[in-house]
Chain A
């Protein structure tokens, strides 16, 4: 039988959200499933603060451990990506107590918006897809798996047109072809679900990936195997 029949009204509206203690003039930009994103300035620079919040459904001990681990993992992944030559927001500061990461605010729009609003012509799309493929190759060859490759997590910077990768919240270190293959699979699924009207986007990415990755062959083999899964 139904254990819960009456709809329950929201107990977590945005009105009870408090800005991070001690941070002045910050504006809530978005509230996701596991973090809030704020806009503010840091030492005079435009800044984004990503603050993870606790999940009440988890055991407090597990919650604390997961939040701390993911915070550290995200910060390390951003650094690893930058080391591999992948543009990301610059990391300004990590505050463990409030589970917050402070980073550079990129001025630009996501590839999802650019494609969705038809702001890129064929040549522009080809350039951006090739750049995405190149960055994924650099990242994977550098032993980093992004974990959430969607067009929402890639920005085109206004100042120089560079593609900037964001949100390393699910990233981890791995050199396994299997993990890289799954990363590409997630990318493909994201493209088909968000941009189904545009064809050939993923092929453009793969072509460029192949050109720039030294280990493309093993990765593509695993990726092809994944695609034949029922």
Chain B
């Protein structure tokens, strides 16, 4: 609609790649293992040969969805977030410990020492703290953002769109669709060649 109105090109962007590129841009992380944790997805991702490859993911339910449902079951409020309210009552230790453990396995496997946490659940400070402890024990660094960039935002779509556009990659209107099944590793990461 906007594209038609202004007569400008349209660029398709993968939501998860948006999170990753925004996280990299904001934190300055170069080549981290990425933990993408939100209501809809839980994935451990690492870059290799122009793709963000998925090393692990939950198949049945995303972490955010799990926390949301748990909060609803207990009748907790959604304000400011279900996860925050669970945090006030109990620690989400077990779930987070699992996430950190799987991320550490991916780091050992790929030989990368830095971690980037993105997605809505990524603003949780306990998760960030645990991840930092793990990364520092491995001699690496945790890169994380606060709620301004962890939660879905416009900039995270615009930024990879710009990266693709600079390489002349646009999506014709006819081929433009929305799909929930757009896999992270379907995207050719043309703007990276390391």
Contact = CB atoms under 8 A, between A and B. Distances in A.
Interface of A: 1-12, 32-34, 55-59, 62, 66, 229-230
B19 interface: no
Interface residues of B, number: 35
B76 interface: no
A4 B93 CA distance: 22
B87 to A, nearest CB: 13
A11 B138 CA distance: 8
Given A57-B131, A62-B93, A62-B94, A1 B137 contact: no
B142 A32 contact: no
B134 A57 contact: yes
A2 B118 CA distance: 12
B181 interface: yes
B156 to A, nearest CB: 15
Contact of A59 (B91, B101, B131, B137): B91
Contacts of A8: 135-136, 139-141
11 contacts: A2-B26, A2-B144, A3-B145, A8-B141, A11-B136, A33-B105, A55-B97, A55-B100, A55-B134, A58-B100, A62-B97
B133 A1 contact: no
Nearest to B115: A4
Nearest to A59: B93
Nearest to B93: A59
